[in-house]
Amino acid sequence: MNDPNGCSFINGRYHLFFQYNPDAPVHDGIKWGHVSSADLLHWRQHPIALVNRPGELDEYGCWSGSVTDDAGVPTAAYSAVADKSFRSVVLLARSDRDMLRWHQDREPAAGMPDDPAISHARDPFLFEADGRRYAVQGAGHTHGSPRILVYGCDDLTSWTGLGTLLSSDNPIAAEAAPANIWECPNLLPLDDRWILIVSLWRHVDGTQRLAGVRHLIGDLEIGLDGPRFTPVGGGELDRGPCFYAPQVLRHDGRVLLWAWSWEHGRTREDIAGAGWAGALTFCRELSLLGDTLVSRPVPELAGLRREALQIPSDQPFTATAYDIELHPDARQATLWLVDGGDEQLVAEVDLAPSPVVPPRILVDGSMIETFDGTATAYTTRAYPTMTSRWLLRLAQPAPISAWQLGLQ
């Protein structure tokens, strides 16, 4: 699995779709997997939602996109890829209110741009502003520069191109988010600002490199030629090596976010042997503190806590999934994976003396997400074996609280 898609709240449930190959742990024949939850804790897996269809515009894959409630009809707008050129068009798919039965269109709502400076355009994300509905797509050129395209789509079946929302001609965007292609854009209002989130695709030494996620904070103006975004600042959304393609969900005054965490330090043979690849992060909530975008675990995750976990000072412990709250007086915490006499440094958490968010470490199997008290998080992966144990070291003695995680 990879990118989260179609994050939505419909009929009293959170719905989360994701890029999915049910047949093998490789990126091929991508479909949309589907889970839903009433409380962000207990998730129900549903049948595959969107499928790549032989002879159709999505034959090679149903790639990333978003979902909107279109006058009572849940509607997905997604990148349909027909072949290995990876050029895509936007297709629509409509569902019942339970989002279990989907009908995928055959004709595109938006095609590939004619501009030769754009080799890729994908990942449609729908938003509303001033009572109108718009969409953005990430775009750019393999050997060129990135941009965000914007469309008018009050009529979802026929999108009107409105040019470029933002390009790397803007010096703030160029410095904060250097890339050849901006992927998986999210554009949303937050307090009195607008937030643009982009994932960085770079062409380096003949190969593609996914280079993390950046956010830009700024203002959205809607003129005669459509929306335009002017950033005033930006930075990393997550500092870790395993965080990409996030998608947000605005619901009930909150902004929720999930991201894809890829495999890191596993060989192809290991992945094939395990039979799976890819995971999603824990759900996070975004907020603004001045002009700083703050990311923290959603409060609902406390509902995963079970019995207290006793962590001896500088001694290995055994746990599969756990939650540790740190005190800033510790100054620094390091998490290690211990197997026999070998110790692998997994994460280093430099604790902010005056935390913006509570310092915390969340571990679930191979997923490690740390929050050092600053606005951003750190996501990485490690792979415990049946004989592995964990080790937490603190730079200075300080109280901690820890719990085993699980569902009953």
Within the chain, which residue ranges are assigned CATH 2.115.10.20? 4-262
Q: What is the pLDDT of residues 343-389, one digit of tens each?
A: 999 999 999 999 999 999 999 999 999 999 999 999 999 999 999 99
Sheet hosting strand 377-381, strand order edge to edge = 305-308, 401-405, 321-325, 360-364, 367-371, 377-381
Q: What is the pLDDT of residues 45-99, one digit of tens each?
A: 999 999 999 999 999 999 999 999 999 999 999 999 999 888 899 999 999 999 9
Q: What is the pLDDT of residues 324-333, one digit of tens each?
A: 999 999 999 9
- What average pLDDT score do residues 148-155 get? 97
Given the candidates 1.10.3470.10, 2.115.10.20, 2.60.40.10, 3.20.20.330, the CATH classification of the domain at 4-262 is 2.115.10.20
Asked if 230 and 193 touch (Cβ cutoff 8 Å), the reply is no
Within the chain, which residue ranges are assigned CATH 2.60.120.560? 303-405
C-alpha pair distances (Å), 406 with each of 167, 303, 310, 317, 325? 44, 9, 16, 17, 17
Q: What is the pLDDT of residues 94-144, one digit of tens each?
A: 999 999 999 999 999 999 999 999 999 999 999 999 999 999 999 999 999
Q: What is the pLDDT of residues 178-192, one digit of tens each?
A: 999 999 999 999 999
- What per-residue confidence (pLDDT) applies to 96? 95
Q: Is 70 exceeded by the pLDDT of residue 408?
A: no
Structure tokens at 319: 């746990």
- Pairing assessment for the beta strands 31-37 and 102-104 based on DSSP bridges: unpaired
Structure tokens at 54: 């032989």
Q: Which of 155, 62, 159 is nearest to 110 (CA)?
A: 159
Structure tokens at 382: 């490690």
- What per-residue confidence (pLDDT) applies to 62? 98
Instruction: Read off the DSSP letter of residue 57.
Output: T
Q: Is 175 helix (H, G, I), strand (E, B) or coil?
A: helix
> How many residues comprise the chain?
408
Output the pTM of the full model: 0.96
- Pairing assessment for the beta strands 389-394 and 332-339 based on DSSP bridges: antiparallel
Structure tokens at 286: 């975004």
| Fold exhibited by the domain 303-405 | Jelly Rolls (2.60.120)
Q: What value does the mean pLDDT of the chain take?
A: 96
Residue at token pair 């990879």: 2
